[in-house]
Amino acid sequence: MNKLPRSAYVHIPFCHRRCFYCDFAVIPLGNKIDSLYGYGSKTVKEYLTFLNKEILSIKHKSSLSTIYIGGGTPSILNPLQIKDLINLFKDNYGIDYGAEITMEVDPASFNEDDLHGFINAGINRFSLGAQSFNNKILDQAGRRHYRDDITQSCFWLKKAYDYSLIKSWSIDLIQNLPSSGFKEWQEDLEQTLKLSPPHISIYDLNIENGTVFKKLVDLGRLSLPNDNESFKNSELTNFILKSSGYSRYEISNYALPGHQSRHNRVYWKGIGWWSFGQGSTSSPWGEKFTRPRISKEYKKWVTNQWKIKLEPSLVNEENIYKELDEKIMIGMRLKEGVNIYKLVNEQNWDGKTSKINLEKLFKQWETFLESGLLIKRGNRIFLSDPKGMDLSNQILVSMFRWWEKVN
């Protein structure tokens, strides 16, 4: 039997409003939400009831080394609700001593008292969704907060870290937002560094179906950086952050020594994880399963977990291997890349077939290896930094073509 997952993701779908780039499974509740007693509290409490029921439905439980509470905007919840959630895991799964327990927070959705309440509930790492420090850019992206809100939130987080109340904290930024040219992006990076976060996540803007940005793009009313401008922004990001002591340990993540996100590495290492909540995706033994994105359908699904039977991917104790292409894809996001020979040897191929297929893959990657976008060192293949990581899609597309031919 495979080892039981020791990481859990929890999705809190509530937001004040949906940002213009967001296609996540979220429930906008407006600016006046009071999750404990006031406006919107009935909706929140009903969701938490079903969420708790789902968490308890897992039959084979093991103590957790990482928990990540994401959203949405988890900081909409009251600290008491976060404490109840963590205690649910503590009482029914167990939480390791020294476990990393992370929570996403948005500026202007919490105050310093709330922060200390979350810390007292058990949170020891925070991820702050800043996205930009430019008020015009924030407004155009549909964000609710402004520059001063971010600065104030960072001051509270930095103080908590300096007093050893938390283990780490992070700032999230989005690269290539509308109106974010080279100058604006440089200012965002410089302002971020002034606040000294131990960890920085830089996400590229993706235009997703069903979003406000997608509609504006289709109408020709959204001006975005072109490919050349985007690449220059990426080069600037890498240069500034590396020069400031940050290591790019994953395509979208930079950290000072000792501050890598243990939970995120679970995903990229292909280790199994539990996931709970509307629209979230779990992969406890290799097979991924995404819960319904619509609230009514999610609640019906949770009810059926008890009445009928658990989703098969949540009870399968046999060895389920991810497809080789997915193993390569997720492993290549990490700075250290993958042991390509080990991954190929895990396939049900004989020695001759493994050798031939590996030669075909290297032939597919020949141009990337010669240009230095890909680097082979011993048995490991990894993306060069920054160019390989910034152009990873080209390399992965070629790998997928290879997989289609050999599979």
Q: What is the DSSP string of 300-369?
A: HHHHHHHHT---GGGT--S--PPPHHHHHHHHTTBTT-EEHHHHHHTSS--HHHHHHHHHHHHHHTHHHH
The pLDDT score that the predictor gives to residue 1 is 38
Given this model, what pLDDT does residue 406 score?
84
Q: Is the pLDDT confidence value at 260 over 70?
A: yes
- Is 311 a domain residue? no
Same domain membership, residue 229 and residue 356:
no
Does 310 reside within a domain?
A: no
Mean pLDDT of 42-68: 94
CATH number of the domain enclosing 237: 3.20.20.70
Exposure of 301 in the CB half-sphere (CA atoms within 13 A): 20
Same domain? 42 vs 132: yes
Total count of domains within the chain:
2
Residues 6+ apart with CB under 8 A from 286: 272, 320, 321, 322
Give the containing element (helix H, strand E) for 154. helix 147-162
Rounded to the nearest integer, the mean pLDDT of the chain is: 92
Residue 278, in any domain of the structure: no
Greater pLDDT, 350 or 63:
63
Looking at residue 294, its pLDDT comes to 95
Query: Stretch 175-190: mean pLDDT, rounded?
Result: 95
Q: What is the C-alpha end-to-end distance of the chain, expressed in Å?
A: 27
In a domain, 52, yes or no: yes
Of 301, 220, 263, 268, the C-alpha closest to 127 is: 263
Percentage of the chain modeled with pLDDT above 70: 98
Dist. CA 402–CA 407, nearest whole Å: 8
Helix (H) or strand (E) holding 9: strand 7-12
| Cβ neighbour number for residue 70 with a 10 Å cutoff | 21
| 317 band by pLDDT with thresholds 50, 70 and 90 | low
Residue 43 lies in a domain: yes
- Do 245 and 334 belong together in one domain? no
* Distance from chain centroid for Cα 4: 21
Domain co-membership, 76 together with 177 = yes
Residue 328 φ then ψ, to 5°: -65, -45
Among 253, 268, 283, the domain-final residue is: 268
- Give the strand order in the sheet containing 95-105: 247-250, 253-255, 199-204, 168-175, 125-131, 95-105, 64-71, 7-12, 274-276
E-strand stretches of 92-133: 95-105, 125-131
Among residues 246, 268, 290, which one ends one of the domains?
268
Run of H or E including 377? strand 374-377
Kindly state whether residues 363 and 251 are assigned to the same domain.
no
Mean pLDDT of 267-280: 90
Query: Residue 168's domain spans which residues?
Result: 7-268
Task: Please state, in angstroms and rounded to a whole number, the distance separating the CA atoms of residues 376 and 366.
Answer: 11
> What does pTM read for this prediction?
0.91
Domain assignment present for residue 282? The answer is no
Measure the CA angle with vertex 227, ends 223 and 230; round to 5°.
80
Which of 243, 268, 293 finishes a domain?
Answer: 268
Q: Is residue 22 part of a domain?
A: yes
Contact 141, 99 (CB under 8 A): no
